[in-house]
A = this chain, B = another copy of it.
Amino acid sequence: MRLVLFTALLLRCSAADITSFGAHAGDGSDTTPAVREALRTKPKKLVFPKGRYDFYPSYALEKYLFISNNDEGLKRIGFPIVGFEALEIDGQGSQFVFHGFMSPFLIERSKNVTFKNFSIDFERTFHSEAKVIAIGDDGVDLEISGQFPFKVDRGLLQFIGKSKEPYPFGSILEFDPRRRETAYQARDYYTGPYVEAESIGPRKVRIDVPKLTATVGNILVFGAANRNFPGFTISDSIDTSLTDISIYHCGGMGVIAQRSHNVTLDRVQVTPAPSSGRIVSITADATHFVNCTGRIVMTHCLFENQKDDATNIHGIYAQISRQLAPDEIEVRLVHPQQLGFDFIFPKERLELVHGPSMMTYGDAIVKSVTRVNKEFTRVTFLKPLPKELKTGDVVASAQPGPEVLIANCTFRGNRARGLLLGSRGKTIIEDNVFHIPGAAILFEGDARFWFEQAGVRDVTIRRNRFDNCNYGVWGKATIEVAAGIEPSQRAVSRYNRNITIEDNLFRIFDGGRIVMAYSVDGITIRKNRIERTTDYPPARPAAEPFDIKDSSQVAIR
C-alpha cells in the first residue's frame, strides 16, 4: 500500500505505468482497482504495457449517469475520468476485456483527454447470436454457440451470463454470415422479453416467433434490451481524442459525446473481435454526438456490423409543456433516453421552433433555470416570449453546432443507416466508402418522436463511394434529406440548407432513388458517377434517381 503511494507520487508529473499500481496483464486479475488508484494520482499519462487486461465491476466507481440516446442508471465505471485537465491513456496495443455489467470509459468535465492504441471487448456480449439450422411449421431451429449462454425456462428463451444472471433481449434481426451484413431486406422483429422456445438438443432450441422468417445458415441476432454500457461516454468535456482504438464490443453506443467541445477519432474501428466468430460488433450506434460544439473529426475509421447507425450528430429539442408567464415556460424532455439531459443554462440563447413545420420563429436568452426533475425544467427569459408561442412547440440550443469532417472512413454491414447529419456547422463528408442497408446519409430532425434537433446549413458530400446501399429496409434512397415536418407544411418549411453532392460514385443494384429530398433550401448534385451492379436482386420499383420536392435553389447536373 505504502509502496503504491510512493510510486504514485513519483509518477505524478510524468507517465504512470499501470503495473506500478498493482495491475497484472494476462492473468485474468481485476485491473479496475489499479485504474482507480492510478487516476487518483491525476497522472498526465497512464501507460498499459502491451498485454491483456481484465476489468470487473466489483470494485468499480459507481455513478448515476444520464447518457443521451442510451439508458440512464447507476453504473459501475472502468475508467472514471472526471475533472481531469490533461490525460493520455496509452494502451500500447493492449486488449482491455470487461466483465459483467460495467461501462468502460467515462470522460466527464475534463479537458485534453487522449486514448491511444488499445481494444475493448466484453467477456460476455450484451447481445446474443444464433445460427439458423432448420425451419419448420413449428418454428425456427437454432444452434447457439457456447459464448452466448442461454436457458429455456417455462417455455421461454432466456439469455444469461456466467452466474445465470439475465442478459435481456428485445428484438431479433437476421444477418448473412457470407456477406457479413444484415440479410437482404431483413427487418427487426420486436419481440419484447418473451420468445417461446423449446430445447431440441444440446445448445439447440426451436423458437416460435409469429411471422418470423429466416434462411438456413443465417444468423439471428437477439438485440440487447437496453443501452446501459456505452464504450466511451464523453460528457461536458473539451478536446477528447481517440486514436488507434478498436471497439469490439460494448452494451450501448461505441462513442457517445454530449455537450462536449472538439472530439477527434482517428483510426478508430468498431468491428467484431477478430476470431470471436461473432457477426455483430456493438449493440447500438458506432458514434453519436449530442449538443456538441467546436469540431467533430472522424478520419480513417472503420465502423462495421454494429446494431445501429454509424453516426448521428444532433441537438435535443425540449417540448414546451406549459407557458407559466409571458417570460416563463416549462419544458419537458420527452424521449425516454433523453431524460436528465440538461442543456438549458442561464445566458444561453434558445431557438423557438414551431412543432408541425419545424420552422424557427424566434429566439430568446435564458435568465434562470429551475430543474424540476429529469423530465421537467422551468425556464425564465430576459424578455417576454413571442405571442405565437404554443404549447407543443419546442426549444433547443441556438448555438451553431460543431464543424464536422468525416473522411477516409469505411461504413458497412451495420443495421440501419450510415451518417445522420444534423449539425449547422460546416460539414464535409469526403473520400469515404459506404455499404449500408439503409440510407447511407440521412438528414433528419423532428419534434414529435425522437426530438432530435437538426437542419444543416453547409454540407459537402464529395468523392465518396456509395457501394450498393439501401439493400435493407431502413431508407428510401442512398442519400435522404427528410425531417419530421407535417406533409401540409413541407412546401413552406426549409429545414435543411446548402447541400452539395459532387464527384461521388454511386454503385446501384436497382432502379430506386439515389437522392431523395424535401423542404431543402439549396441542393446541388453534380459530377457524380452512377454504376449499375447485379450484386442484389432489385428491391424497389424504378424511379427518378434524384427526387427533390418542396425545395428551393435546386441544381442537378
Contact = CB atoms under 8 A, between A and B. Distances in A.
Interface stretch (A10-18, A371-379, A416-424): A371-379
A373 B61 contact: yes
Contacts of A374: 62, 74
Contacts of A373: 59-62, 76
Contacts of A325: 1
Interface string A288-329: 000000000000000000000000000000000000110000
A154 B207 CA distance: 14
Contacts of A375: 58
A6 interface: no
Contact of A59 (B72, B76, B372): B372
Nearest to A193: B193
Interface residues of A, number: 24
Contacts of A59: 372-373, 376
A225 interface: no
A64 interface: yes
A217 B62 CA distance: 49
A156 B62 contact: no
B376 A58 contact: yes
A361 interface: no
A63 to B, nearest CB: 9
Contacts of A74: 64, 72, 374
B58 A154 contact: no
A428 to B, nearest CB: 41
A343 interface: no
Given A58-B376, A325-B1, A154 B76 contact: no
Interface in A119-149: none
A373 to B, nearest CB: 4
A74 B62 CA distance: 14
A190 interface: no
A309 to B, nearest CB: 28
A536 interface: no
A43 B529 CA distance: 75
Contacts of A61: 373
Interface in A43-77: 58-62, 64, 72, 74, 76
A376 B58 CA distance: 8
A156 B58 contact: no
A324 B33 CA distance: 14
Contacts of A60: 373
A154 B62 contact: no
A76 B374 CA distance: 10
Nearest to A63: B373
Given A1-B325, A325-B1, A373-B76, A194 B154 contact: yes
Given A76-B373, A154-B194, A156-B194, A64 B64 contact: yes
18 contacts: A1-B324, A1-B325, A58-B375, A58-B376, A59-B372, A59-B376, A60-B373, A62-B373, A62-B374, A64-B74, A72-B74, A74-B374, A76-B373, A154-B196, A155-B196, A156-B194, A193-B193, A194-B194
Interface of A: 1, 58-62, 64, 72, 74, 76, 154-156, 192-194, 196, 324-325, 372-376
Q: 5 smallest A-B Cβ distances: which pairs?
A: A62-B373, A59-B372, A64-B64, A154-B194, A62-B374
